[in-house]
């Protein structure tokens, strides 16, 4: 059974006297453990699709089956309940709380969703995830003390804290340079491989889409092509081949007895 099955999804927005048709009969299956990259021009309906997939919004018509269950008619509360248990989100702008440590940002979703974990367990889980994304030494840093790539890694750790099956990422590398983008794609590829998470990632960059297992093109609210990636890019290998950043070089130790 596909993790996700979308059948003839339509979504229209009413803006004054005008109706905007953002999704116009979109159908798509997503298998468990796949890494699907959705590409398309601005305005093609990618974010609308993401909002429906993420149970943030409801389609105007059509069906959304999640693990075989038709969730397209679920009300707000049922959608929120399902979303908290099954879906994690990563956004272009990271959406972290300012003046709040990385650790607390990652713990935050555990305070909702009705799972009353004891504080020590919350900390441990958040710390473990931050370590998994390479930020074990930055637990107390606030977003403004972190680079964009580091903030996105905090956001990925936060998205995983409720152990979702599905990770949705809307232009997660949109604000990052190409080197940092490779690092983020490396983390996502690893999550799919090692944890069996299913990723649906939206991008308008075709080279980013080649890190996925499948590229789905959306145009005018419909799927216009859906193809397996032939020569899949390996982010870990690409990153290993990059020269180290000067910033990553450890500073020289201060000379002994140098203090005045």
| Binding region for Mg ion (CB under 5 A) | 46-47
Strand order in the sheet with 166-170: 87-91, 166-170, 198-202, 35-39, 214-219, 222-228
Smallest gap from residue 46 Cβ to Mg ion (A) = 5
The closest residue (CB) to Mg ion is: 47
Smallest gap from residue 217 Cβ to ligand ADP (A) = 11
Complex with ligand ADP: residue 154 or 215, whichever CB lies closer: 215
Smallest gap from residue 239 Cβ to ligand ADP (A) = 28
Complex with Mg ion: residue 50 or 132, whichever CB lies closer: 50
Complex with ligand ADP: residue 92 or 105, whichever CB lies closer: 92
Smallest gap from residue 47 Cβ to Mg ion (A) = 3
Complex with Mg ion: residue 102 or 176, whichever CB lies closer: 176
Cα 146 to Cα 98, 143, 177, 219, 242, distances in angstroms: 11, 5, 15, 36, 21
Structure tokens at 132: 């998994």
| Binding region for ligand ADP (CB under 6 A) | 13, 15, 20, 22, 40, 42-48
Residues 101 and 141 sit within 8 Å (Cβ to Cβ):
yes
Smallest gap from residue 24 Cβ to ligand ADP (A) = 10
Q: Binding partner of residue 22 among ligand ADP, Mg ion, none, CB under 5 to 8 Å per kind?
A: ligand ADP
Complex with ligand ADP: residue 193 or 206, whichever CB lies closer: 206
């Amino acid at each position: 059974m596909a993790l996700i099955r979308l059948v003839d999804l339509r979504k229209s927005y009413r803006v004054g006297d005008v109706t905007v048709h953002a999704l116009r009969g979109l159908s798509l299956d997503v298998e468990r453990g796949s890494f699907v990259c959705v590409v398309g021009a601005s305005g093609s309906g990618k974010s609308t699709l993401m909002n429906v997939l993420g149970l943030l919004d409801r389609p105007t018509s059509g069906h959304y089956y999640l693990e075989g269950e038709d969730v397209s008619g679920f009300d707000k509360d049922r959608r929120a309940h399902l979303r908290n248990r099954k879906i994690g989100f990563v956004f272009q702008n990271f959406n972290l709380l300012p003046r709040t440590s990385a650790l607390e940002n990652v713990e935050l979703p555990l305070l909702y969703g009705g799972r009353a974990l004891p504080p020590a367990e919350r900390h441990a889980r958040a710390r473990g995830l931050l370590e998994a994304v390479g930020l074990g030494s930055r637990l107390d840093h606030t977003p403004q003390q972190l680079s964009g790539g580091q903030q996105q890694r905090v956001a990925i750790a936060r998205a995983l804290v409720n152990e979702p099956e599905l990770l949705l990422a809307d232009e997660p590398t949109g604000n990052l340079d190409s080197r940092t983008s490779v690092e983020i794609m490396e983390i996502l590829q690893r999550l799919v491989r090692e944890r069996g998470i299913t990723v649906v990632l939206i991008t308008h960059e075709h080279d980013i889409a080649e890190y996925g297992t499948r590229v789905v093109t959306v145009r005018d609210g419909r799927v216009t092509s859906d193809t397996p990636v032939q020569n899949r890019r390996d982010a870990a290998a690409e990153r290993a081949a990059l020269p180290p950043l000067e910033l990553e070089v450890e500073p020289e130790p201060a000379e002994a007895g140098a203090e005045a």
